[in-house]
Amino acid sequence: MEYGLIGEKLGHSFSKIIHEQLADYSYELMPLNHQEFKSFMEQREFTAINVTIPYKQAVIPYLDHMDTKAENIQAVNTILKKDGKLYGTNTDYDGFCYTLKKHQINVKDKKVLICGDGGAAQAVKAVLQDEGCREIISIRRTKTAHTITYEEACAKHHDCQIIVNTSPCGMYPNHLDRPLDLAAFPDCEAVVDLIYNPLQTRLCVQAKKRNIRCAGGLEMLVAQAKYAVEFFKQTKLADTVIDTIVTQLMSEKRNIVLIGMPSCGKTTIAQALAKRLNREVVDLDEMLVKQQQKSIKTIMAEGGEAEFRRLESEVVKQISKQQGLIIATGGGVIKDPLNPELLSMNGTLFYIKRPIEQLLVDDKRPLSSSTEAIAALWQERKALYEQYADVEIENNADIEQAVTQIISSFTYKK
């Protein structure tokens, strides 16, 4: 291997895509268990590598030289072999600095909680110290001499102003997890989560709901990769390349999620979007019916709406892990607040609006089997659609016009 990434689990990594846009080399992903890691580092058969969980500290004994930054942090994520010797640095430091500045998060004189205590946490801690942070508290699941537990953090440090998640809690495929409940921290003014898959963790979703400034991990990932390429190639790249790659990845990876009343046009719009964008369409109702081998009408007759909603939520949990899809939801998906929360982790929610008089009666759907039933649903759900939507799209004229509006709105903007 010439250039690449080593770590224990790399199935979710975007690093190959990013590096091959930044530089003119092939970049490999090499998952290694602990024994394989030892052999790999002893053999030194590479030109330059990045290092991720859990080896950022384990690589240090194999190095011939660390720069001052890595020495102070005691964690290395970037290694260059030059004249047979291994030189280590830490571009997580630079990536986190970039993220704070990009999102205008001021840590000076602030109290900060750091979730996790691994290599990335050490880089974050070094940045916070250099930026004049007032107090830094590290959290782990088990208490140590230098950390407290999550329970203790919630009980004693509810006055913290900034929370940084460096732990894998909330990372795909365990996207339902989050390290902390922000309700316990009323003074929190900013959240940074180093996880980038999902694109927006549950912690970030909650921060946005509470109008707390929030930054996900994708920007830091691209930034640290840019600084790593500079170290590998002994060159300088413009910071603007970070925005370019983040924009491209967000546009490619995010799901387009359509919500709205039954017969508002979600399925038709989804199919038209698929043709324009060459994306797969997933209809949640169809997915549910296929899994249960029963029609919605039969499910409702046998178990009532409560059972249907339970099954619907299970489908949402499954599909919300995936990326790059067009998702047409059932009309009542917004009744369980967890559903839009999960769908927004990897997607943008578009509320497809159609005048109530244009909505169709459908005797195959028990909840919209009459004009009166549709009117009742409208009154029940209208505010929920508006609450959870990222963008509202009018669909009372030409379908292609609605599709064009969605594509225009979907272009990623910071």
Which are the catalytic amino acids? 56
Alpha-carbon distance 214 to 357, whole Å?
Answer: 40
Mapped onto helix, strand or coil, the DSSP state of residue 18 is helix
Alpha-carbon distance 69 to 97, whole Å?
Answer: 13
Going through 123-207 in order, the beta strands assigned E by DSSP cover 135-139, 162-165, 190-193
State the residue for tokens 């011939």.
64
Structural element, H or E, at residue 47: none
Token pair listed for 384 = 């929920």
The closest of 163, 182, 167, 165 to 110, measured between CA atoms, is: 163
Going through 179-292 in order, the beta strands assigned E by DSSP cover 190-193, 213-215, 255-259, 280-283
Amino acid at 352: I
Using the Cα atoms of residue 71, residue 77, residue 80 and residue 81 in order, give the sign of their dihedral. positive
The closest of 179, 121, 176, 125 to 150, measured between CA atoms, is: 179
The closest of 172, 200, 330 to 257, measured between CA atoms, is: 330
Alpha carbon dihedral 147, 149, 152, 156, in 10-degree steps, equals 40
Using the Cα atoms of residue 234, residue 235, residue 240 and residue 243 in order, give the sign of their dihedral. negative
